[in-house]
Amino acid sequence: MASTPPASGAELIATSLKQQGVDIIFGIVGIPVVEIADACQAQGIRFIGFRNEQSAAYAASAYGYLSGRPGVCLTVGGPGVVHGLAGLLNAQLNCWPMVLLSGSCDTDQVDMGAFQELDQVEACRAYCKYAARPTSVDKIPFVIEKAMRTAMVGRPGPTYVDLPADYIQYPIQDRSAIQALQLPLAVGNAKSQADSRSIQQALMWLQQAKRPLIVIGKG
């Protein structure tokens, strides 16, 4: 009788995203994020591929603006992350919710000149409200939930999650642990509202103004 193959870190990532209400991901697949895209599609999440990470990140940021929920972008590491920085900055300046997920080198190869190695957390930190790498595979759901929540709470903006290759490929023998995963829905009630007193003050000023100028826009 054939044994059930173990699950993987990629499946844990996909499950975490699915529980956060993610139904579409923009990006480019490659080493080491192919498994993430496969796992997401297996769970019914639509993946839209692009020719360049910059375009994918812009699409994710625009999706965040249009939908009111964090747009998710998936890229490879190194140059893929650098290309995606344009979308992060666009989301930051316009206050659009967005989450960038990127693969990175194995944790035991850090500072050893691994394939396209880059300190991606620090590279993204200046353009994000939150940038982090899970400290272990079991912390992946926590970091993804926090990234989704932080992108929405207060003034919306972008966040970044770094996903090492060995975390993505990590074999999880107990598949039921993934199936039993229950994360709080970060996006559900996260939309912030202005203080009611400030709104009343603004209304009073508008009522008293003789020649008011109202500039309406994003950000």
* Alpha carbon distances (Å) from 93 to 30, 90, 127: 29, 5, 9
CB 116 within 8 A of CB 76: yes
Per-domain residue ranges of the chain: 7-208
Q: Which two tokens stand for residue 161?
A: 């999650």
* Superfamily for the 7-208 domain: Thiamin diphosphate (ThDP)-binding fold, Pyr/PP domains (3.40.50.970)
Segment 43-49 shows an average pLDDT of: 96
Task: Give residues with Cβ within 8 angstroms of 8, minimum separation 6.
Answer: 35, 39, 168, 169, 170, 171, 172
Confidence band, pLDDT 50/70/90 cuts, at residue 125: very high
Q: Regarding beta strands 7-8 and 171-172, do their DSSP bridges make them parallel or antiparallel, or are they unpaired?
A: antiparallel
Question: Using alpha carbons only, what angle is made at residue 97 by residues 15 and 81, rounded to the nearest 5 degrees?
Answer: 75
**DSSP, residue by residue, 123-179:** HHHTT-SEEE--SSGGGHHHHHHHHHHHHHSSS--EEEEEEEHHHHT-EES-HHHHH
Q: Does residue 35 surpass a pLDDT of 80?
A: yes
Segment 190-197 shows an average pLDDT of: 71
User: Which of the residue ranges 10-24, 41-55, 112-126 would you say has the lowest mean pLDDT?
Assistant: 112-126
Task: Give residues with Cβ within 8 angstroms of 171, minimum separation 6.
Answer: 6, 7, 8
Q: Does residue 144 surpass a pLDDT of 50?
A: yes
Phi-psi region of 126 (alpha: psi -120 to 50; beta: other; left: phi over 0): alpha
Q: Does residue 42 surpass a pLDDT of 90?
A: yes
DSSP-assigned letter for residue 108? G
> Can you give the pLDDT at residue 90?
96
